Structure 1
Amino acid sequence: MTQPVRFQSLTDPLAQLALPDTGKNAGDVICPKETCRCVILRKNKATLVKRDANKMSMPETALPEGIKVAENDTDNDHFWSLDNMMDFENVGFSNTVGSIKYLSCADCDIGPLGYHDIASEPKEFLISICRARYQF
């Protein structure tokens, strides 16, 4: 099995991460923490979508130690979208803050990796594409 790769190390992330015919994730979505091997989503489970980046502020403090994301290489408005929380392999949910539940790694609790707005319709669970590693 190949080693997980970071979003930031991909040369053309949108083309490499999503299957061209379906827009589904081309590989497993893995926790961003180097020492954690938790699978957040299995291949072909989520759809790549663009959402308002201001919906949730995901602080850099949630990234693994020693990892910095420069403003020019982040892609905060692209997310993996699921409509059923049972499609996750492993994910944790925070208490509700306003109408937002933040998503984290179920094994190491790093986060937020994404969010779920309980007030939105239709239901949608989102994982930021730049807050994960990928295994192809």
Structure 2
Amino acid sequence: MNETNESNSMDHDVVLLSNGNNGLDCHCKIPDCNSLIFRADTAPLYKEERKLPLGDRVDTISSFWRLDDVFKFENVTFTKETQTEQGKIKYLACCDCEYGPIGYQNLENQICYVAIDRVKYCQPKIDGNSNS
């Protein structure tokens, strides 16, 4: 596997709310898929350097969205348990097209981390039936 050092080139797309959570909906990056992974104001930004495979390469990623509850996801799938240097994890992928891994779940505490540059960002859709 080739190893690259990813510089979080997508940081300019990341919008944070005043509470530090994601300001935009997070979707699958694959254009023909575009599945909603999780909604705006769901996850705080979390900084930690972690190696994450993608195809035949391994990227070093340092910015993630942290989801403390798997029920905050709209669409995500989990791989089987994998042993890494940093402990047992499950990788996360888009459940519609299986693009990924987009992040991982730490099996010690069940917290999920989604790499900020493995998802794309869209404005939340306004519900047309809202009376506000």
Give the TM-score of the pair, scaled to structure 2: 0.75
* Post-superposition offset of 1:78: 0.5
1:37 to 34, 37, 59: 34
Maintained 8 Å contact 1:85/1:125:
yes
Q: Spell out, residue by residue over 1:48-79, the C-alpha distance to the aligned partner (whole angstroms, 9 max, x if none).
A: 1101224xx222x28xxxxxxxxxxx881100
Cα distance in 2, alignment partners of residues 131 and 79 from structure 1: 9
1:100 to 73, 76, 89: 89
User: Matched residue pairs, number?
Assistant: 111
* Post-superposition offset of 1:124: 1.3
- Give the match's secondary structure for 2:82: coil
Which structure: greater strand fraction? 2
Maintained 8 Å contact 2:66/2:113:
yes
Give the aligned partner of residue 3 of structure 1: none
Give the aligned partner of residue 90 of structure 1: 75
- Kindly indicate whether structure 1 or structure 2 has the higher relative contact order, using CA contacts under 8 Å at least 6 residues apart: 1
Give the TM-score of the pair, scaled to structure 1: 0.73
Which structure: greater helix fraction? 1
Residue 125 (structure 1) aligned with residue 122 (structure 2):
no
Identity %: 31
Give the aligned partner of residue 114 of structure 1: 103
Cα distance in 2, alignment partners of residues 75 and 33 from structure 1: 21
Residue 22 (structure 1) aligned with residue 9 (structure 2):
no
| Letter aligned with residue 77 of structure 2 | G
Give the aligned partner of residue 45 of structure 2: 48
Cα distance in 1, alignment partners of residues 22 and 92 from structure 2: 18
Q: Any gaps of 5 or more consecutive residues in structure 1?
A: 1-6, 63-73
Larger Rg: 2
| Letter aligned with residue 33 of structure 2 | C
* Post-superposition offset of 1:11: 7.3
| Letter aligned with residue 48 of structure 2 | R
Q: Any gaps of 5 or more consecutive residues in structure 2?
A: 1-7, 124-132
Q: Which runs of 4+ in 1 moved over 3 A?
A: none
